[in-house]
Structure 1
C-alpha cells in the first residue's frame, strides 16, 4: 500500500470534513424518518454506524473509491451515512479520473429509476428524504468536479508561469552570452591588431639592434603607444565583463568606415606595403556596416602581418546604397624568408583561424557574407555587406 504523507494542512482538511459529516448527521437526525416497528435500538445502531462512517473518512486519501462504494452501500440501510457518503463521493470526484467518478456516480444513481417509478405510491416523508439524499450526493459530485477542474486550471497556469519564467531566464542568459561573444570579438580584433604592431616593432629592434637612434626612438614610440592603447582597450573590455553588459553604442567611440585611412596609415608605419582604394565618397553607410567593414580590414591586415610578413596588400572598398558595400583585401605571395625575418614575426602565431570565423559571424549579423580563400599564391578576404539608405 502506497504510504500517503499528509501535511498539517491535509490533516486539518481531513478533520474538518469528518467534523462536517458528524455535524450534518446531528443536524439532520430530527428529520430522519424511522419506522415505528424498529424503535430506539435501531436509531442507536444507526448513530453508531454513522460515527464509524465519519471516522472512516480519515482513509479517504488512501482508498477513496473503495471507501465511497462502502459508504454508499451502507447508506442504503443507514440514514446517518449520508454525510460521510457525501464527503467520500466528493473526494472521488475531486481527486480521481473521470472513469472512476463515473462508476461511483452510476452506483449512487442506479436505484433512481426504481425510486421514480415508485414515487407516486411512496409516503411523503420518505420520498422527500430520498430526493434530498440524491440531490445532496449530486451536489457533492458536482462540487468535487469543480474543485478538480479548478485545481487542473491552477496547475496549468502555474506550469505556464514556470515555463515563461524559464524562457525569460533562457533569453536573458542567451543575451548575456551574445554580449560576451561581442566582447570576445572586440577583444580579438582590437588587441590582436595592437599586439601585432607591438610584435612587429619589437622583432625589428631585436633583429637590428644597431639601427640608427632616430629609427629606434620611432619604433619605441610606436611600441609605447601601441602598448598604451592595448592596455586601455583591455581595461575597457574587463570593465564590460565585470558589469555584465555588452558593448553598447555609447560606451566608447566605435570605428567607422572613415577610419580606414588611419588604420592603413598605422599599418604602413609598421612597415606594411598597403594600397587602399576607397572608401566611397558620399553618404556614410550605417554604423553597423561601417564598423563591420573596418573590422574586416583590420583583421585581414593583422593576418597578413602574422602569416605573410612582407607581402603587398591591396585593399579595395567600394559600393553604395543600391549595390551594398564590398570589401576586398588581397595579399601577394610573401617574399622568401631569411633566417630571421626583418619584422620579427617568426611564425603564424596563435589564432588558428578564429579571427576569420569571427569575421564571418560579424558579416552574417550585419546581413552580409564573407569568404576567405587562397588566391594567386596569396590570400583573399572578400565581403559584401548590405547598405540600406
Structure 2
C-alpha cells in the first residue's frame, strides 16, 4: 500500500492499494472518531460496493446511514446537495459526524459540497471507485455542482480527512468510463511530467485494455503495479501543486489544461460526452491552436493526438467555435474581459496565458 501525505488547510493522507474498501471502517476510524456517518453514493456504485463499506463501518463502531442518488451528470446539481443536507438534518447529524463519498467524481463533488456547508462544515472522506476520481478529483478539496449556466459554477474548497483508493474497483468500470481517468492522467503528463506521458504511451495496450477485452483481462490488467504507480504519480503531482496554491489563484490553474474548452464540449452535448472525453478533445484543440497561432515552441497536438488515438479517444469536435465560445465565456476561469487558458509549450511543460474574451472564438477556430 502506498501513502501520500497532503498538507493543505487540513492535513490528510491518500492510501493507494488493493482491497482497501473491505477495511474502510478501520482506516476511517483512525482519523475520525466513530459516530454517525452518511455514505453518499449513486445507484450504480451502491449495488456493487455499498454493503462492503457499510459492514466495514459498522464493524468499526460507526452508526451508518446511506443516501443514494441517480447516477450521471444530471444529478450534479443543487437539488441533490439539498436532498443530502435534508437527509442528514432529519437524522440528527452533528458537527462531530461525517460523510463518506463512495463513487466517482460526481459523487465526490456533491458529497464534498454537502459536507462543506452542513452545519458550516463537517468532515468527509473520499472513497473513489473510478480511475478519474482516483487520479484527480478525490484530492485537492474542490467540490461543486453545475448550474444551468455552466459546469462547476457553485462549490467550495473543502479538504477531505482521508482518501482511500482501492484500485480493485477499476475492474468493474466500463472501458469508456475508465478512459475518463486516462484523459486526466494524460493531462498530468502533458503539463508537468514527460516521463508519465511516456509511461502511458508505453502501456496503452497492456494496462488499459480495449473495450473488446474480456472482463477477466480487464481485472488482470488493472491490478498491475504500473497502474498503482500511475495513480501515485498523478496524485503526487496534484499534491505538490495544491500545497503551493490551494485556492486555485496561480499554479493550480495548470490543472485546467483542456478543461475550459472541455467543459464547453460537455455542456454543448448536454453532458452526453463525458468529462474525460471532453477534456481529451479540449487538450487537442488547445494544443493545435497554440501551435498554429505561434504560442508554443512545439506542435504538441501531434503527440497528444497520437496518444489519444492509442486509447481510441474520439478527437473530432462536433460543435462550432461559436457554440463552444458562447459556453466557455461563462467558465469560472473568466475574469472580466479576459479568460485564462493553459497552453502547452512542449510535452511536460504548460503555462498560463490570459487572452481577451474577444479573441477566444478565433483561438478555438484555430484548433478545430
TM-score, normalisation: structure 2: 0.22
Greater Rg over alpha carbons, structure? 1
More helix by share: 1
Of structures 1 and 2, the one with the larger relative CO (CA 8 A, separation 6+) is 2
TM-score by length of 1: 0.21
Bigger fraction of residues in strand:
2
